[in-house]
């Protein structure tokens, strides 16, 4: 499947103008145009925002090659190009993978020079944010919060210092969790139409429990030296 954006600033999937090719179950080739209006698209056939005069495709050596003559409007000579491959359900194209090379499969196409530049820069910021989101939440929920709980349960006999270590871990873990949650919300905003419900529910549950725990700790702050 190939996608051409008729506006240079358009780098996402929604709004793209697709040229679709696949081999039907009976072995014949299907090739057509499809405007992508949402992430729930099944790549239905439709007219694009620019003219497509001729359209054909071949399948050779495990590759689909699409041939098309396009009428690009408003004297546009450079466009963004995306290309994807995904599963086939009967004779209906399915959603492509949302990881790895599928998130970097785009570049710019210059019709005058014929030069194609694969950039993938659109997802670089998203990839960096995903890494930051994972690191912050791993340190917060996977390291600091458990250490704080372990200290509270096992080191009460070592003087009042246990309490301050416990509170420091819990507070820092909560702050890191908040930062990770904010990053997650930003990722959701950048990936409109894509939602990982299980991951989101787990995150909201952890954030809620941590907030209650930290607030309870401050409201029920014991006196220095308390073994409770």
The 10s digit of each residue's pLDDT in 47-74 is 888 888 888 988 888 888 889 888 877 7
- Last-in-domain residue among 86, 119, 152: 119
Q: Tell me, yes or no, whether 84 and 162 share the same domain.
A: no
HEC assignment per residue over the chain = CEEEECCCCCCCCCCCEEEEEEECCCCCEEEEEEECCCCCCCCCCCCCCCEEEEEEEEEECCEEEEEEEEECCCCCCEEEEEECCCCEECCEECCCCCCHHHHCCEEEEECCCCCEEECCHHHHHHHHHHHHHHHHHHHHHHHHHHHHHHHHHHCHHHCCHHHHHHHHHHHHHHHHHHHHHHHHHHHHHHCCCCCCHHHHHHHHHHHHHHHHHHHHHHHCCCCCCCCC
Which residue ranges are tagged as binding site? 133, 166, 199
Binding residues for heme b: 133, 166, 199
- Tell whether 102 and 157 lie within a shared domain: no
* Domain encompassing residue 150: 124-219
Digit-coded pLDDT (tens) for 72-126: 777 777 777 777 777 777 777 777 666 656 666 677 778 777 777 765 544 456 6
pLDDT number for residue 199: 81
pLDDT score for 85:
74
Share of the chain above pLDDT 90, in %: 2
Same domain, residue pair 92 and 31: yes
Q: Do the domain assignments include residue 225?
A: no
Query: What pLDDT is stored for residue 103 in this prediction?
Result: 61
In this structure, the answer to whether residues 102 and 189 fall within a common structural domain is no
The answer to whether residue 228 sits within a structural domain is: no
Flag whether 29 is in a domain. Answer: yes
Identify whether residues 100 and 162 lie together within a single domain: no
Q: Examine the domain organization and report whether 215 and 139 are in the same domain.
A: yes
> In the prediction, which pLDDT does 54 show?
87
Say if residue 140 is in the same domain as residue 47.
Answer: no
Looking at the domain assignment, is residue 226 inside a domain? no
Residue 227 lies in a domain: no
Total tally of structural domains belonging to the chain: 2
**Tell me: the pLDDT tens digits for 150-203?**
888 888 777 788 888 888 888 888 888 888 888 888 877 766 555 677 888 888
Examine the domain organization and report whether 67 and 90 are in the same domain.
yes
Confidence grade of residue 139 (pLDDT, cut at 50, 70, 90) = very high
């Amino acid at each position: 499947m190939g996608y051409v954006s008729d506006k240079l600033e358009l780098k996402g999937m929604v709004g793209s103008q697709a040229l679709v090719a696949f081999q039907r179950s009976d072995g014949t080739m299907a090739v057509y145009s499809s405007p992508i209006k949402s992430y729930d698209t099944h790549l239905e056939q439709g007219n694009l925002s620019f003219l497509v005069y001729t359209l054909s495709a071949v399948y050779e050596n495990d590759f689909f090659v699409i041939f098309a003559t396009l009428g690009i409007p408003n004297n546009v000579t450079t466009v963004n190009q995306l290309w994807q491959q995904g599963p086939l359900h009967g004779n209906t194209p399915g959603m492509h993978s949302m990881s790895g090379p599928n998130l970097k499969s785009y570049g710019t196409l210059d019709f005058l020079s014929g030069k194609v530049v694969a950039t993938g820069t659109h997802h670089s910021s998203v990839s960096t944010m995903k890494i930051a989101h994972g690191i912050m939440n791993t340190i917060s929920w996977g390291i600091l919060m458990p250490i704080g709980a372990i200290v509270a349960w096992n080191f009460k006999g070592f003087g009042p210092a246990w309490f301050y270590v416990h509170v420091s871990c819990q507070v820092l873990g909560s702050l890191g969790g908040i930062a990770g949650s904010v990053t997650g919300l930003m990722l959701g905003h950048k990936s409109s139409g894509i939602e990982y419900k299980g991951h989101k529910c787990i995150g909201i549950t952890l954030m809620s429990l941590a907030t209650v725990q930290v607030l309870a700790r401050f409201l029920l702050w014991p006196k220095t030296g308390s073994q409770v």
